[in-house]
Chain A
């Protein structure tokens, strides 16, 4: 093998593009990068998905640079200045019942929202993937036991089960995340199991079995890569629900605790003044709406790109 095209050419954007779109990749890295780039090109065709992605990029930058962006300290109270309307002096989005700047609280709240979303997105799909693929590949009693456990979790309304967990574990963001994750994994397990059932009887799994591969290797290296794309899509579509569940727990006083600027908790606080001072509850509500919408749009676009049924042949 020639070593000449192992590295991307450094001169000019056009040749890098050609290198990425080459029909005859000459190294593992080129082949992988090329596949990623073509996925990106397909995603870029979907304008709504790009809008969603843009909102999320903005949200992440806001969360990262919160101390630089926020005009005020989100925790400093100014009772003389409470319940100021939109656009008032120094408070673009007004102040809440304790005189805290709502814009600053929303900006810091983005951190909490992302923290919750990231943790749930790390826990629930991984648990679901493990349970689902093991259940689907092993079959027999393993399948029966794991799927009945999944059924038990699925039988409860999600928020009620999360409430029960939080009540048992104690209020707080970490426990809210844990509770949401514990209630969110069963659908992923079901989905991963269904995919595994169709994949495991396919010829390419038979072929790798005939090379003497063990069940662990087959599940991790051959079944997971095919399940993960649909899981990613499902996770992005579920993100909205997760944010809402976290906000719901916050609203009920079982998630983030005051004075934490969690968006759901902020709505809960503003509820008392919703008729006279509507913006106190509405602004965090709009923030939740925007982020949920962004995740939904992105998820929809990702589904078009990642769907294994489309790209398989």
Chain B
């Protein structure tokens, strides 16, 4: 079995007993090693919540999540964080406002037990297309695209196998979006990464992924290949609606 990520009958809940929200309903999907998998759907359809459940940021879940064949328990251990990393949606919110790029990357590397931190920080910055000149800057001295590159460098620091991307370009300018997407594609090729990418933009998913799951109201409606999506071979009417809405951009 060479699945990087396997999810079976996953339910995720938010809130207390009084106001329990059933955010993801019995979701199942399999992502092969080295694949790039898209999760599409409108806002509130539960696509980001699946990522949160995988990373342990949404603790109320049941069902089965397997990472590289090992089922996950209630707690994530350090080994998990070395395998799975996440890039957040908004680079303006995902970097600590009082920490320089150097502090962010150094602490991450330190937490993962690396000792040649100095060399690795420079290497990471190079990998994401930022020179050493950016190393001691604070987030407010960086543009949105540069911040997202730093966030990607942080996610790459522990040398993960699986990268979870939560709408990594939706907070960025259109001109910068393509740069970041190309950077991610290059990194995937260079490091042999598996991607799980959440997006509401079918064009982005079509560009980046080989397979996608369509979600609505917390349920996975269907899983289809990008080729099938391009050819318009959809099983569910909602997918059809989504496709039509962005028809002129998917091709």
Q: Is the CB of B93 within 8 A of A202?
A: yes
Which residues does chain A contribute within 8 Å of B137, judged by CB atoms?
23-25, 31
Given A25-B137, A203-B88, A313-B92, A212:B81 Cβ within 8 A: yes
A225 and B107 CA atoms in complex are apart in Å by: 15
Contact size class for B? 35 or more
Q: Please tell me if A204 contacts chain B, counting CB pairs below 8 Å.
A: yes
Q: Is the CB of A23 within 8 A of B141?
A: yes
A225 and B104 CA atoms in complex are apart in Å by: 14
Interface segment out of the listed B4-12, B95-103, B236-244: B95-103
Contact of A203 among B78, B93, B108, B138 (CB under 8 A): B93
Contact size class for A? 20 to 34
Contact of A213 among B111, B133, B140, B141 (CB under 8 A): B111
Q: Please tell me if B90 contacts chain A, counting CB pairs below 8 Å.
A: yes
Q: Please tell me if A159 contacts chain B, counting CB pairs below 8 Å.
A: no
A31 and B107 CA atoms in complex are apart in Å by: 17
Q: Please tell me if A58 contacts chain B, counting CB pairs below 8 Å.
A: no
Q: How far is the CB of A80 from chain B (nearest CB, A)?
A: 62
Q: Please tell me if B158 contacts chain A, counting CB pairs below 8 Å.
A: yes
Contact of B55 among A23, A27, A210, A226 (CB under 8 A): A210
A207 and B78 CA atoms in complex are apart in Å by: 14
A46 and B131 CA atoms in complex are apart in Å by: 37
Given A203-B88, A207-B154, A208-B107, A31:B102 Cβ within 8 A: yes
Contact of B86 among A35, A210, A213 (CB under 8 A): A210
Main secondary structure of the interface of A (DSSP, over half): helix
Q: Please tell me if A222 contacts chain B, counting CB pairs below 8 Å.
A: yes
Q: Is the CB of A24 within 8 A of B133?
A: yes
Q: How far is the CB of B49 from chain A (nearest CB, A)?
A: 13
Q: Please tell me if A26 contacts chain B, counting CB pairs below 8 Å.
A: yes
Which residues does chain A contribute within 8 Å of B93, judged by CB atoms?
202-204
A203 and B154 CA atoms in complex are apart in Å by: 13
Q: Please tell me if A148 contacts chain B, counting CB pairs below 8 Å.
A: no
Q: Is the CB of B88 within 8 A of A206?
A: yes
Chain B residue with Cβ nearest A199: B96
Q: How far is the CB of B215 from chain A (nearest CB, A)?
A: 21
Q: Is the CB of B140 within 8 A of A211?
A: no
Q: Is the CB of B81 within 8 A of A211?
A: yes
| Interchain Cβ contacts under 8 Å between A and B, 15 examples | A1-B118, A24-B133, A24-B134, A25-B136, A26-B133, A26-B136, A28-B102, A31-B136, A31-B138, A204-B96, A207-B94, A210-B57, A210-B85, A226-B97, A313-B92
Give B residues with C-beta under 8 Å from A.
Answer: 55-57, 76, 78, 81, 85-86, 88-90, 92-100, 102, 107-108, 111-112, 118, 122, 132-141, 151, 154, 157-158
